[in-house]
Amino acid sequence: MPDLNSLISENTAFQIIFNLFGGTALLMYGVDFMGDGLEKASGKIMKRILSVLTKNIFVAFFVGTILTMLVQSSTAITVMTVGFVNAGLMNLTQAVGIIYGTNIGTTITAQLMSLKLTHIALPVVAIGFFIMSFSRKDSTKNMGQSLMGFGLMFLGLKTLNASLPYIQDSETARQLFLQYGHNPFLGLFVGMIATMLIHSSAATVALTISLFSADLISFYAAVGLTLGDNIGTCVTAQLASLKANTAAKRTAWAHTLYNVIGVVIAIIVLKPFSGMIEWITFGILHEPKAFLVANTHTFFNIVSALVFLPITKYYVLFLEKIIPDRIDKKYEKGHLDRLLIETPIAALKAANEEVINAADVARNMLNDSLVSLIEDDDRKIISVLKNEEKLNIMQTEITQYLVEISRKVLDSEQSERIPALINTINNFERVGDHCEDITELSRSKIKRGIVFSEKGLNELKTLYQEVMNMMNECYMAYSKDDAELALQAAAREDVVDELTLKFKEKHIKRLEEGTCSVQAGVIFLDAITHLERIADHLHNICLILSDGRHNEDKD
């Protein structure tokens, strides 16, 4: 029969394990749940912020900081950044600036955990759940989700803390921490491996705060754990870049080397660095001991950013040197990167950019098809056929990409955006089909030696110019998201319809007078009919854009 002491020892061990693992799971889920709610709640803000990513390194730095503060996940923003670079929506310098900012923005979570808020965890979860369940507005539901996640995070922290008395009472556990809990290098290794395994810097920082607050590890060991956490969080970006292009790989390594270099320097000057944190915490901020770990996390990343910002140009050149260019077949696919799917606001932006690319392909096809018909240029026919194949592939890829996005949790605006984009790419693809049909007319005209009458040729040029103007305005309106220009382009459809009807009547008259051959007449009528139908599709695109912008402005 087992003795009482062994039973107590086993129960203590199980209690420690369950509290540690259960608390970590709750904390991680809470952080993810809160981040997801904040991301959806701040969707429009994120959309505006993403629109300034073409600015300089300092703007990118602030964007990274703000976005990470909003969604409370440096991993999500870093992976999104790798995806943007892989999709060609951002250059390496901008990406590096974003990375500097994400490392600072994520430290807000640690600062929150240092506050003594575990006692309000359950009431906050209850309030968040009530708001989520009974609110009718998406924005309010999202805020309720964020609040519930916030409460779950602190409930997880409370569960983690519940294991500390058991550790303190256990002679075996206490001796273990006394023996190894003062080694910063061991802390560095443990923090790095733990963060790599659980993909959550928040969980390892929370555990560090709890152990340090209970005097189970020294401040040096806590600093080591925190620094290891910064390296461990890089593994997600590295995994995301495995099948990406060179630029994305450089972005992932920019994140990794940035943290590794910073950690190596901090370890070399560990004593003065730790002393600085204690001086700032106790001497300047007058905060209690509980904030030492969070402040280590925050000031390490602030100092790293301040050191790297002035030398970013040389850092980028260094990355380009150690990771040379290679032929990237994936990059040829354009902006559609599946790394962005988990962040719908970013994925929709990527899809929109690819639709703009498709619009440019359709615009070139329209020009080339009409030149082939008017000037009997068979080289333009080959160009149109190549672009038609390309446009069909783009339509398929964009549609599949949008379908994948639609399976994620979206707000009402994002849900409406998906069918609008699908309808838009379908209309551009139909423009391409009509251009291909026009080249078939060109091929027949060239093969049979058919010549248009001077009047017929002038009419065809007039109609072509009107449709080409409509196409150019439609393209500019879509690429600039300009609803007024879209309406201006849409108004040209009435002009095209009038000209088509007028030129058909004139053509019939020429046939009756015998000034135009029947063979030339058939090709002429088919050509202007295709142009009129192209205008119809462009009109549809312009209305989709103007209606979408009108609804967004109303919201």
List, for residues 203-250, the tens digit of each pLDDT value.
Answer: 888 888 888 888 888 999 999 999 999 999 888 888 877 777 788 889
> Has residue 483 got a pLDDT over 80?
yes
Question: 101 in a domain, yes or no?
Answer: yes
Specify whether 35 is located in the same domain as 107.
yes
Residue 554 has pLDDT above 60, yes or no: no
Q: Give the span between the Cα atoms of 193 and 489, in whole angstroms.
A: 58
What is the rounded average pLDDT of the residues 244-272? Answer: 91
Predicted confidence (pLDDT) at residue 194 exceeds the cutoff of 60: yes
Residue 173 is predicted with a pLDDT of 65
Q: Look at residue 332 in the predicted model and tell me its pLDDT.
A: 46
Position 356 pLDDT exceeds 90: yes
What pLDDT is stored for residue 45 in this prediction?
A: 63
Mean pLDDT of 340-352: 83
Are 212 and 64 contained in the same domain?
Answer: yes
Region 378-393: what's the mean pLDDT? 92
Q: What is the pLDDT of residue 259?
A: 95
Question: For residues 247 and 335, what is the distance between their CA atoms, to the nearest angstrom?
Answer: 13
Q: Please write the tens of the pLDDT for every residue from 17-72.
A: 788 788 888 888 887 788 777 777 766 666 556 555 556 788 889 888 888 887 76
Q: Do both 290 and 381 map to the same domain?
A: no
Same domain flag for 270 and 350: no
What token pair was written down for 111? 């600062």
Beta carbons of 53 and 90 less than 8 angstroms apart: yes
Of 418, 404, 406, 361, the C-alpha closest to 386 is 361
Q: Are residues 268 and 406 in the same domain?
A: no
- The 10s digit of each residue's pLDDT in 430-475 is 999 999 999 999 999 898 888 888 888 898 899 999 999 999 999 9
Domain assignment present for residue 211? The answer is: yes
Q: What is residue 551's predicted lDDT score, i.e. its pLDDT? A: 44
pLDDT bracket for residue 404 (50, 70, 90): very high
Domain assignment present for residue 336? The answer is no
358 & 218 share domain: no
CATH number assigned to the domain comprising residue 395: 1.20.58.220
pLDDT value at residue 553:
39
In a domain, 331, yes or no: no
Cβ proximity of 402 and 472 under 8 Å: no
Q: Is residue 497 part of a domain?
A: yes
> Mean per-residue pLDDT for 394-412?
89
Q: Please answer whether residues 93 and 318 qualify as being in contact, where contact means their C-beta atoms are separated by less than 8 angstroms.
A: no
Report the pLDDT value the prediction gives residue 53, as an integer from 0 to 100: 57
In a domain, 127, yes or no: yes
Domain encompassing residue 408: 341-554
- Most confident of the ranges 113-117, 420-424, 501-505: 420-424
Please check whether residues 288 and 396 belong to one and the same domain.
no
The pLDDT value recorded for residue 10 is: 56
Within-domain flag for 329: no
* Shared domain check, 142 and 70: yes
Burial of residue 325 (CB within 10 Å: 0-12, 13-18, 19+) is: exposed
Task: Reply yes or no on whether the pLDDT at 531 is more than 60.
Answer: yes
Residue 140, pLDDT > 70, answer yes
| Residues in the chain, overall count | 555
Question: What's the pLDDT at 395?
Answer: 93
Residue 539, number of CB atoms within 10 A of its CB: 22
Three-class HEC string of 65-133: HHHHHHHCCHHHHHHHHHHHHHCCCCCHHHHHHHHHHHHHHCHHHHHHHHCCCHHHHHHHHHHHHHHHH
What is the number of structural domains in the chain?
2
Residues 153 and 256 in one domain: yes
Band (297; pLDDT cuts 50, 70, 90): very high
- The mean of the pLDDT values for the chain is 84
At residue 530, the pLDDT reads 93
The stretch 333-353 carries a mean pLDDT of 79
Interval 105-131: pLDDT, tens: 888 888 888 887 788 888 999 999 999
**Contact of 526 with 441, CB cutoff 8 Å:** yes
